[in-house]
Amino acid sequence: MHELAVCESILQQVLVVAAAHSGSEISRIKLRIGPLSGVEPALVKRAFPVVASGTACENAELCIDDIVVTVFCRACGLTSETPPNRLVCAGCGTWRVTLMSGDEMRLESFDLLESNKMELEDV
Amino acid sequence: MCEVCGCAGGTDHFHVIPAETMTDPGCAGTPPLAPPARGGARAVAREGMSIDVNQALLVANDHVAAHNRAHFDAAGVFVVNLMSSPGSGKTRLLEETIKALGDVLSFGVIEGDLETENDARRIRAAGAPAVQITTGNACHLNAEMVHAALHELDLASIDVLFIENVGNLVCPACFDLGQHRNVVLLAVTEGDDKPEKYPVMFRKADLVLLTKLDLLDAVGDFDPAAARRHVVDLGNDTPVFEVSARSGAGLAAWSAWLASAVGARRHVAASSRMHGHAHEHIPHG
């Protein structure tokens, strides 16, 4: 259950960045987590409230977009969608492919509820 | 030498590990990872403000891993992250490797287990220094644990450092430790479709070792060619060696791979010294 460690990392990053802005509460956190990242989005969503309890993130909604695995074929040039455990070109079947999407594990952005509008507009 | 943490990684790195979490007293005073610039903020109607971050989820771990790698590179050590299921023969392989190559290469081992010093004792008995990390209930090693452990080793006297990760084909795949190569073991007793079941781990392998080859006939239904095919189907054409630590079969190919990697690492280390090496930094401030 390494998702707990991932959630702690997300929480720390958000709190550190939020501290540089004025705002009291984080309402939403946007993540990109691909099927080949090794992180399970459903488990992150379940674990995050435990980790975030008592912090400015405790009511934050986690938004994790569905990401598909796509590969670029270095042999025939086709970009195709594949299952996570079979990274071969859908056109010619070769394994000589480059992963284009599917291993993302990124904190994209978060929404901070305003506590001082004037100061925020100054950013 | 770094004046902040006392490590040999040079003076131009910064420190991400909170001082209170450090187990190495020589490495105190590590400031936290600084936030990105404030320019990423933009207004969102009614929702407040959206702030772009766009960082890796494990940015703090990645930063410590880069720091570890700088230590390893400065000392010219080739570092392997050894991963597999529990019981696939990682420690046994290391024992035989140390015994077979101990005259030509010097080894060090960082052992990761939930409990016990057993594996570290076995490595020491085989003739190499070993540091045991006991993770409690943690299912993987992280860069911070490895950083604490590496300061207990004399890196300057080591050619190859093995980090034997916690036996687990899932969690360790996510955490960079500062290694140069990932070696993943798959015992013939496990089933040849493991790469298909655990694609994240096997996609990251720089070398796959099919271990316990001496049991192949007894198992009966493990097809090494199928295991190879499943690795290739992950877009990974990395070498797959068949080995038996018990019989010694295949250990020559594994030894040659290690010797070649050590040679390449020494070459990189020498070039880095010539060019005033500095390790990569996470942008901050």
In this prediction, residue B246 carries a pLDDT of 96
**Closest residue to A107, CB basis, from B39, B53, B170:** B53
**Chain A contact for B125 (CB, 8 A cutoff):** no
Percent of chain A at pLDDT > 90 equals 85
In a domain, B55, yes or no: no
- Chain B residues 216-235 with a CB less than 8 Å from chain A: 232-235
In this prediction, residue B9 carries a pLDDT of 43
CA distance A62 to B173: 23
**Contact present, A13 and B53 (Cβ < 8 Å):** yes
CA distance B31 to A25: 25
Provide the edge-to-edge strand list for the sheet that holds B78-83: B130-134, B107-113, B160-164, B78-83, B181-187, B207-211, B240-242
**Which pLDDT band, with edges at 50, 70 and 90, does B41 fall under?**
low
Task: Check whether A83 has a pLDDT greater than 70.
Answer: yes
Residue A109, strand partner residues: A30, B52
In a domain, B106, yes or no: yes
- Per-residue pLDDT of B177-223, as tens digits, reads 999 999 999 999 999 999 999 999 999 999 999 999 999 999 999 99
- CATH number, position B88: 3.40.50.300
**Contact present, B208 and B198 (Cβ < 8 Å):** no
**Chain B contact for A105 (CB, 8 A cutoff):** yes
- Per-residue pLDDT of B141-162, as tens digits, reads 999 999 999 999 999 999 999 9
With 0-12 / 13-18 / 19 or more C-beta atoms within 10 angstroms meaning exposed / middle / buried, residue A113 is middle
Which chain B residues contact residue A45 at CB under 8 A?
Answer: none
CA distance B128 to A51: 40
In this prediction, residue B283 carries a pLDDT of 44
Task: Check whether B22 has a pLDDT greater than 70.
Answer: no
Domain that holds residue B105: 12-21+75-275
Mean pLDDT, chain B, rounded, equals 85
In this prediction, residue B43 carries a pLDDT of 53
Backbone angles phi, psi at B12, to 5 degrees: -105, 30
With 0-12 / 13-18 / 19 or more C-beta atoms within 10 angstroms meaning exposed / middle / buried, residue B93 is buried
In a domain, B134, yes or no: yes
Task: Check whether A31 has a pLDDT greater than 60.
Answer: yes
Instruction: Flag if B57 and A10 touch (Cβ within 8 Å).
Output: yes
More confident residue, B25 or B121: B121
Which chain B residues contact residue A28 at CB under 8 A?
Answer: 47
**Which pLDDT band, with edges at 50, 70 and 90, does B13 fall under?**
very low
Helix, strand, coil distribution of chain B in percent, nearest 5: 40, 20, 45
In this prediction, residue B99 carries a pLDDT of 96
Q: Average of pLDDT values for B2-22?
A: 40
Q: Average of pLDDT values for B43-68?
A: 85
| ipTM value > 0.90 | no
- Closest by Cα among A23, A109, A12, A1 to A64: A109
In sequence order, the 6+-apart residues with CB closer than 8 A to the CB of A104 are: A32, A33, A34, A37, A67
CA torsion sign for B50, B52, B54, B59 is: negative
**Closest residue to A88, CB basis, from B33, B138, B233:** B233
Task: Check whether B48 has a pLDDT greater than 90.
Answer: no
Percent of chain B at pLDDT > 90 equals 73
- Per-residue pLDDT of B220-279, as tens digits, reads 999 999 999 999 999 999 999 999 999 999 999 999 999 999 998 888 777 776 665 455
In this prediction, residue A17 carries a pLDDT of 93
More confident residue, A82 or A120: A82
In a domain, B66, yes or no: no
Lowest-pLDDT range of A9-18, B44-53, B75-84, B153-162:
B44-53
In sequence order, the 6+-apart residues with CB closer than 8 A to the CB of B267 are: none
**For residue B85, how many other CB atoms are within 10 A of its CB?**
20
CA distance B241 to B134: 30
In this prediction, residue B282 carries a pLDDT of 42
In a domain, B40, yes or no: no
In a domain, B1, yes or no: no
Backbone angles phi, psi at A87, to 5 degrees: -90, 70
Best mutation target, B52, B53, B144, B196, to test chain A (most A CBs within 10 A): B53
More confident residue, A104 or B3: A104
In this prediction, residue B40 carries a pLDDT of 55
In a domain, B255, yes or no: yes
Q: Distance from A120 to chain B by nearest Cα, in Å?
A: 8
In a domain, B193, yes or no: yes
In this prediction, residue B30 carries a pLDDT of 36
More confident residue, B17 or B262: B262
Which tokens sit at B247? 């019989």
Residue B80, strand partner residues: B162, B181
Task: Check whether B19 has a pLDDT greater than 50.
Answer: no
Which chain A residues contact residue B36 at CB under 8 A?
Answer: 17
In this prediction, residue B138 carries a pLDDT of 86
Farthest-apart Cα atoms in chain A, separation? 58
In this prediction, residue A22 carries a pLDDT of 80
Look up residue B162 and give its amino acid: F
**Closest residue to A85, CB basis, from B47, B139, B199:** B199
In this prediction, residue B47 carries a pLDDT of 52
| C-alpha distances out from residue B64 to A77, B14, B60, B189, Å | 38, 10, 6, 36
| Structural domain total, chain B | 1
In this prediction, residue B14 carries a pLDDT of 36
